[in-house]
């Protein structure tokens, strides 16, 4: 029997996607499995390229959520370098959000445009704190302790390793004869200086001796090549930004557009509203070539309204996130797998991609979301706790953690997150999210390759080489599914052991 005969076998077990989701019950990613297909290729043959919107393609189907504990410029830069995209949150002023987007669009591979600096009166203890919370040393010292002022020295490990008194000001231990590069230097030239001089950090100065950026030897080693980077037509990293449906967001969109943002996410917990339709129409009418993702939606009717208003992509999910309590509090929403399948099937008629947002806690959830029609997965929990996520690390019971909070938590709403819930300005606030913490996962630059390899292995088991082939198999009924009982779910996870060591999601 030929390979083609094996792949097209008529002995089909299980259910098609249509049969599975025609059941009148909401399903989550854990309620079903994809039945295995035929393998005639290696995991390395799997291609993860996908569409984020009608006109934006990504090499990897990963999107970081516009949450204030998940995505600012550092996360967006890392996501874009690794083939995904980051969406900058809007719990900030217009100028602050524009600044974050600008850092991504101006980013040059290997150049740190927003370096951590200290002043001469800071102490060694301050350096220790930076090392503990951010994981690096080699700190430029500027005259007034602010970025972009005159460089007067640099402090590295060798300057402080044997100092017992950590209260000593850094001006007493810093190296003042600093090897530097000139503004406008190429990355190759900077790399050559670092190699020749055998140094770890190369400050880049303007003609007045002011610090403009920093080149790190470790970054040069890590960032040597990013062939899958998400870039625009001008070879700049891609970046998205979230806005609300409030009138002030029209000015916000205009400022973000001038900064070069690639895509706007209209961030509403319930996106099927006259306010969002008017915002969609405003953006599409006034900003040429600016892609817009509408949402959040969970039904075909909601999707239809936003597509008709001009959405280039849809964000799917209402209440499935790990820190979201919308379904409990509001009694409104939909089980996430059912929501993704139904909206994706409808949006496909218009060639509009959908982004599965929420309910993803492992590689299998990502694979299931793509298998039922999603083109990309937006994640908060999975990317919170990484080096690039906003906030500082702290320790609790010996575990290294970072804060993670829902945008509808009381904390986030006080900072502006209530703009997505149509209740800004209300004296009484009803929380639809919680605040918590997540374990340190290391750097995105290590974590995404782990997720990508796991996803390629999943595609191999399913018997499909690309996201497009997977969706074709779904539409044609060749991709087969099976419901899982609660006992089957339990059996499919770890069970019956006296003890075991759980795998870590931390990227080493």
Rounded Cα gap, residues 379 and 448, in angstroms: 12
458 to 29, 35, 409: CA distances (angstroms) = 14, 11, 34
Residue 394 and residue 309 share a domain: yes
Rounded Cα gap, residues 319 and 359, in angstroms: 8
Question: Is there a contact between 141 and 154 (Cβ–Cβ < 8 Å)?
Answer: yes
> Is position 118 within any domain?
no
Rounded Cα gap, residues 117 and 359, in angstroms: 38
> Is position 1 within any domain?
no
Q: Active-site residue 315, yes or no?
A: no
H helix intervals, 82-160: 94-106, 124-134, 157-160
10 Å Cβ neighbour count for 454?
Answer: 16
To the question of whether residue 405 is assigned a binding role by annotation, the answer is yes
Residue 397 and residue 300 share a domain: yes
Q: Active-site residue 420, yes or no?
A: yes
Residue 341 and residue 292 share a domain: yes
Of the candidates 79, 78, 86, 51, which has an alpha carbon nearest to the alpha carbon of residue 240? 86
Residue 463 and residue 427 share a domain: yes
Choose, from 236, 324, 441, 465, the residue flagged as catalytic.
Answer: 324
To the question of whether residue 19 is assigned a binding role by annotation, the answer is no
To the question of whether residue 324 is assigned a binding role by annotation, the answer is yes
> Is position 184 within any domain?
yes
Residue 159 and residue 133 share a domain: yes
Name the residue range of residue 28's domain.
15-107+229-485
Choose, from 420, 441, 456, 465, the residue flagged as catalytic.
Answer: 420
Q: What is the pLDDT along the chain (508 residues), one digit of tens a residue?
A: 445 545 555 678 999 999 999 988 999 999 999 999 999 999 999 999 999 999 999 999 999 999 999 999 999 999 999 999 999 999 999 999 999 999 898 887 667 777 889 999 999 888 888 877 666 678 899 999 888 889 999 998 888 888 888 889 988 988 889 999 998 888 788 888 988 888 888 999 999 999 988 888 766 665 566 889 999 988 889 999 999 999 889 999 999 999 999 999 999 989 999 999 999 999 999 998 999 999 899 999 999 999 999 999 999 998 776 667 666 677 777 989 999 999 999 999 999 999 999 889 999 999 999 999 999 999 999 999 899 998 887 888 888 778 886 655 456 555 655 555 555 555 555 545 566 788 888 899 999 999 999 999 999 999 999 999 999 999 999 999 999 988 878 878 776 777 667 666 655 4
Question: Is there a contact between 98 and 260 (Cβ–Cβ < 8 Å)?
Answer: no
Last residue of a domain, one of 172, 201, 225: 225
> Is position 7 within any domain?
no
> Is position 9 within any domain?
no
> Is position 112 within any domain?
no
To the question of whether residue 148 is assigned a binding role by annotation, the answer is no
> Is position 5 within any domain?
no
Going by C-beta distance under 8 Å and a sequence separation of 6 or more, which residues neighbour residue 428?
none
Domains identified in the chain, total number: 2
Residue 152 and residue 26 share a domain: no
Rounded to two decimals, the pTM is: 0.76
To the question of whether residue 321 is assigned a binding role by annotation, the answer is yes
To the question of whether residue 119 is assigned a binding role by annotation, the answer is no
Residue 287 and residue 370 share a domain: yes
Last residue of a domain, one of 179, 207, 225: 225
């Amino acid at each position: 029997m030929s390979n083609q005969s094996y792949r097209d076998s008529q002995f089909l077990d299980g259910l098609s996607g249509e049969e599975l989701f025609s059941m009148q019950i909401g399903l989550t990613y854990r309620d079903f499995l994809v039945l295995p297909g035929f393998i005639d290729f290696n995991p390395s043959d799997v291609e993860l390229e996908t569409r984020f919107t009608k006109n934006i393609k990504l090499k990897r189907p990963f999107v970081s959520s516009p949450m204030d504990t998940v995505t600012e410029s550092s996360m967006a830069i890392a996501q874009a370098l690794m083939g995904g995209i980051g969406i900058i949150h809007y719990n900030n002023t217009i100028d602050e959000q524009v600044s974050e987007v600008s850092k991504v669009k101006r980013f040059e591979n290997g150049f740190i445009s927003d370096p951590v600096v200290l002043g001469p009166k800071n102490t060694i203890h301050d350096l220790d704190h930076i090392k503990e919370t951010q994981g690096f040393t080699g700190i430029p010292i500027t005259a007034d302790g602010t970025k972009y002022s005159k460089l007067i020295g640099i402090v590295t490990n060798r300057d402080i390793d044997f100092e017992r008194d950590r209260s000593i000001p850094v001006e007493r231990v810093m190296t003042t004869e600093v090897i530097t590069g000139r503004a406008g230097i190429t990355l190759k030239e900077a790399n050559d200086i670092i190699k020749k001089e055998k140094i770890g950090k190369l400050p880049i100065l303007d003609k007045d001796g002011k610090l403009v950026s920093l080149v790190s030897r470790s970054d040069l080693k890590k960032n040597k090549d990013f062939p899958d980077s998400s870039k625009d037509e001008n070879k700049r990293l891609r970046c998205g930004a979230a806005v609300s449906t409030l009138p002030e967001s029209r000015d916000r969109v205009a400022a973000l557009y001038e900064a070069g943002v690639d895509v706007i996410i209209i961030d509403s917990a319930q996106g099927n509203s006259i306010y969002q339709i008017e915002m969609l129409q405003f953006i599409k009418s006034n900003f040429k070539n600016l892609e817009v993702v509408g949402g959040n939606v969970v039904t075909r009717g909601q999707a239809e309204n936003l597509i008709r208003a001009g959405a280039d992509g849809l964000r799917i999910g209402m209440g499935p996130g790990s820190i979201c309590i919308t379904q409990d509090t509001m009694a409104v929403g939909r089980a996430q797998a059912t929501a993704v399948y139904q909206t994706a099937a409808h949006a496909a008629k218009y060639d509009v991609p959908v982004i599965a947002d929420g309910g993803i806690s492992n590689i299998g959830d990502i694979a299931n979301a793509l298998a039922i029609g999603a083109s990309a997965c937006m994640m908060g929990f999975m990317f919170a706790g990484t080096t690039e996520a906003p906030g500082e690390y702290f320790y609790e019971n010996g575990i290294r953690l970072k804060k993670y909070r829902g945008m509808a938590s009381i904390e986030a709403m006080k900072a502006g997150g209530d703009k997505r819930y149509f209740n800004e300005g209300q004296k009484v606030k009803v929380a639809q999210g919680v605040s918590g913490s997540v374990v340190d996962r290391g750097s995105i630059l290590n974590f995404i390759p782990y997720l990508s390899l796991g996803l390629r292995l999943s595609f191999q088991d399913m018997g499909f080489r690309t996201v497009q082939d997977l969706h074709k198999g779904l539409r044609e009924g060749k991709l087969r599914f099976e419901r899982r009982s609660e006992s089957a779910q339990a059996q499919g996870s770890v069970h019956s052991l006296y003890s075991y060591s759980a795998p870590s999601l931390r990227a080493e």
